[in-house]
Amino acid sequence: MNVPEIFASNVFHDGVMKNSLPKEVYRSLRETVDEGKPLDTSIAGAVANAMKDWAVSKGATHYTHWFQPLTNLTAEKHDSFIEPDGDRVIMQLTGKRLIVGEPDASSFPSGGSRATSAARGYTAWDPTSPAFVKEGTLYIPTIFVSYTGETLDKKAPLLKSMTALDLQAKRLLKLFGIGCRKVATTVGPEQEYFLIDESVYEKRKDLMLTGRTLFGAPSVRGQELEDHYFGALKTRISEYMRDLDATLWSYGVFAKTKHNEVAPAQHELAPVFTTANVAVDANQLTMELMKKVAKRHGLVCLLHEKPFEGINGSGKHNNWSLSTDSGLNLLDPGENPESNTRFMLILACVIAAVDKYQGVLRASVASAGNDHRLGADEAPPAIISVYLGDQLGAIVDSIVMGREYVPKKAVPGSIGVPESPIFPIDTTDRNRTSPFAFTGNKFEFRMLGSQASVADPNIVLNTMAAQAFSDAYEALEGAKDFEGTCREYTAKLLKEHYRIIFNYNGYGPDWEAEAERRGLLNNKTTADAIPELLKRENIDLFVKQGVYTEKEVYARANIALENYTKTIRIEAKTMVEMVKRDIWPSVNAYLSALCSAIAAKRAVSEKLASDADMGMAEKVCSRNDALMKATEKLEKALREVPAGELLASQAMAHTIVPAMNEVRRIADELETLTASAYWPFPTYPDLLYSVK
């Protein structure tokens, strides 16, 4: 495999543009991409033509405006390049067609921001993310807006948040005498996923309809031996990963790290970080291709946050940093962070923003699937806190307490193996339990769910950082003693927001009580997390930074709640169907076999039918009866769910989910009582160890 040759071979990348575009056109386009200058529409024709020629040379016959409606997935509608020319055709892509498209928008979620009768929506080219050819179609990344200009997607607000951050960060940096053309957010999302064999997947209605198992007694062997994490890859998995890497590379995705994760059948892929917008698009493509490539290998890729109860779920660690066009990472502490005024100010701004807008940050990762991780027995918890590590933690402590900071030197590691090289040990350990951890020169936000778009948390991170930078600028601009004022302001921020810093075990039982004492939010369900968005100060944040209008915030909150309610309703209905049509009849069949056996034994001799036989039959019979009763109770509760996004979501979280848990509890017990031959679908061991 010649990787440099494969890499980006399907992408209309910088090198191709440079070679195929007139010099002036290329220069103008680069200014838009690199510096955020408005696109000069007069160059669109030339770019479109070059793009089309290149795409056709790659075998493309169609093009599509590729966009990200509010569904976590991408959307596409393909048009061919053909244009009648007499009774023949020519291949054409005009500048206008490159720049705008008009898909019928009426069936995409809009959260009430667009009446169904007003179906018009527009897609508009995003030149900052490269176009590519996939399966015979040229994909043009676009934003998606309504006829009245409201954003209907995740890309437009992401780009707006990046612009806000760029503006505010540059202004702040100027006070430090640093001039730059652009400050960009960089993102590296680590993606977790499960792989199971196609043959077992197809026998599970719940996996097919909801992406997760709604039933399943725990496997006798789960993850307790801790032998899967970083374990040797099975050949079939390794072949899948190799194929996936090559595929992703061809689309210019920087796939870098791959390994087995903690749970059996769980794996991870991490890319090299890149600009937030490109990283989000790349992650959408990664999720899509993970599933497609799996099919080629007779596998199914599960991206749900909690495909299996009782073992780890999947998340997506969002590594986030800020960097200038000259390559200065604003979250790089350098050798002596304690005397790095700029770094300490930026750090304090981020800490303050996370504390102030913790509700918004929590809401940005809220979904029915992710509720099984956050706020359940699994980490990270639903409480937002910041982990700084030993070194920065000690510096911040010293500032807040007004003590002198005594630096701890990084010691050369002596591991007692003479053949092994000496290496410096980091001054900071990692803390896997923290939802928002400083990891060297970036923050790692660990609450994001595995199937969610990476856009949402980054929109929030960028927007709140922009606001904090803007506040800092207002406080520091024109200060006579800039250094002194800056230190004072940093100390003030750290003191005010000290409660958000937590350097210990976030999984510990004491943390919840401690967090409550500190007044931190702990919204365990989506139904409770989303309404935070509608608090006055949170709406103001988005409006002030030009990321969302008030109407758009309401629309997004509505969509998130609607989505949550719909997801749980589908799950509950699938459960009802599986009980009534699969589990209950199968258990009855087993019961009838059991009773026939007892009758047969009795026919031979009364003594042969033991207490054990009778006990088992009674147990199975009574549990199956209880299962049907619990299912009917769930059905009744479903019928009684009130209308309206807010009320419905509350009913889902606090009535339907507990009723589903009860159905599951009984069914899982029945599974352990029923003979394998009678159980209607593959069990946890069948699913988790399906790949040999």
In angstroms, the first-to-last Cα distance of the chain is: 26
Q: Give yes or no for a contact between 506 and 385, defined as CB atoms under 8 angstroms apart.
A: yes
Answer for which of 316, 442, 446, 497 binds ligand ADP (CB under 6 A) is: 442
**Interacting partner of 32 out of Mg ion, ligand ADP, none (Cβ under 5 to 8 A depending on kind):** none
Answer for which of 125, 273, 542, 681 binds ligand ADP (CB under 6 A) is: 273
Distances (CA, A) of 483 to 10, 178, 347, 438, 488: 50, 15, 16, 25, 9
**Interacting partner of 187 out of Mg ion, ligand ADP, none (Cβ under 5 to 8 A depending on kind):** ligand ADP
Residue nearest to Mg ion (CB): 317
Q: Give yes or no for a contact between 447 and 461, defined as CB atoms under 8 angstroms apart.
A: no
Tell me which residues in 282-341 interact with ligand ADP (CB under 6 A). Answer: 319-321, 329
**Interacting partner of 329 out of ligand ADP, Mg ion, none (Cβ under 5 to 8 A depending on kind):** ligand ADP
Residue 664 in the binding site for Mg ion (CB under 5 A) = no
**Interacting partner of 97 out of ligand ADP, Mg ion, none (Cβ under 5 to 8 A depending on kind):** none
| Coil, strand or helix at 569 | helix
**Interacting partner of 68 out of Mg ion, ligand ADP, none (Cβ under 5 to 8 A depending on kind):** none
Q: How many CB atoms lie within 10 A of CB 481?
A: 9
**Interacting partner of 272 out of Mg ion, ligand ADP, none (Cβ under 5 to 8 A depending on kind):** ligand ADP
- Name which of 193 and 320 has its Cβ closer to ligand ADP: 320
Q: What's the min distance (Å) between Cβ of 437 and Mg ion?
A: 9
- Name which of 390 and 426 has its Cβ closer to ligand ADP: 426
Q: Give yes or no for a contact between 200 and 690, defined as CB atoms under 8 angstroms apart.
A: yes
- Name which of 61 and 441 has its Cβ closer to ligand ADP: 441
Q: What's the min distance (Å) between Cβ of 436 and Mg ion?
A: 12
Q: Which amino acid is at 500?
A: I
Angle at 540 between CA 536 and CA 546, to 5 degrees: 155
DSSP 8-state class, residue 583: I
**Interacting partner of 208 out of Mg ion, ligand ADP, none (Cβ under 5 to 8 A depending on kind):** none
Answer for which of 155, 317, 373, 664 binds Mg ion (CB under 5 A) is: 317
Residues in CB range of 303: below 8 A, 6 or more apart: 193, 211, 287, 290, 291, 314, 450, 451
- Name which of 52 and 317 has its Cβ closer to Mg ion: 317
Containing H/E element for 321? strand 316-324
Answer for which of 188, 435, 449, 682 binds ligand ADP (CB under 6 A) is: 188
The alpha helices in 532-549, defined as continuous H runs, are: 536-544
Residue 190 in the binding site for ligand ADP (CB under 6 A) = yes
Nearest by Cα to 386 from 262, 515, 477: 515
Residues in CB range of 100: below 8 A, 6 or more apart: 122, 123, 124, 125
- Name which of 122 and 469 has its Cβ closer to ligand ADP: 469
User: What does the alpha-carbon distance between residue 379 and residue 388 come to, in Å, rounded to a whole number?
Assistant: 18
| Coil, strand or helix at 192 | strand
**Interacting partner of 675 out of ligand ADP, Mg ion, none (Cβ under 5 to 8 A depending on kind):** none
Scan for tokens 């810093």, then name that residue: 501
Residue 387 in the binding site for ligand ADP (CB under 6 A) = no
**Interacting partner of 321 out of ligand ADP, Mg ion, none (Cβ under 5 to 8 A depending on kind):** ligand ADP
The alpha helices in 503-610, defined as continuous H runs, are: 509-518, 526-529, 536-544, 550-578, 584-604
Tell me which residues in 61-120 interact with Mg ion (CB under 5 A). Answer: none
φ/ψ of 636, rounded to 5, equals -65, -45
Q: Give yes or no for a contact between 238 and 286, defined as CB atoms under 8 angstroms apart.
A: no
Answer for which of 208, 272, 401, 425 binds ligand ADP (CB under 6 A) is: 272
**Interacting partner of 270 out of ligand ADP, Mg ion, none (Cβ under 5 to 8 A depending on kind):** ligand ADP
Q: Which two tokens stand for residue 457?
A: 């948390």
Q: What's the min distance (Å) between Cβ of 448 and Mg ion?
A: 12
Q: Which two tokens stand for residue 46?
A: 């030339």
Taking contact as CB under 6 A, which single stretch among the options 87-95, 375-383, 436-444, 554-562 is the one that binds ligand ADP?
436-444
- Name which of 432 and 492 has its Cβ closer to Mg ion: 432
Q: What's the min distance (Å) between Cβ of 188 and Mg ion?
A: 9
- Name which of 161 and 434 has its Cβ closer to Mg ion: 434
Taking contact as CB under 6 A, which single stretch among the options 239-247, 265-273, 346-354, 367-375 is the one that binds ligand ADP?
265-273
Answer for which of 159, 187, 237, 539 binds ligand ADP (CB under 6 A) is: 187
**Interacting partner of 382 out of ligand ADP, Mg ion, none (Cβ under 5 to 8 A depending on kind):** none
Nearest by Cα to 552 from 534, 569, 564: 534
Residues in CB range of 592: below 8 A, 6 or more apart: none
Maximum Cα–Cα distance for the chain, whole Å? 104
Q: Site residues (CB under 5 A) for Mg ion?
A: 317
Q: Site residues (CB under 6 A) for ligand ADP?
A: 186-188, 190, 270-273, 319-321, 329, 439, 441-442
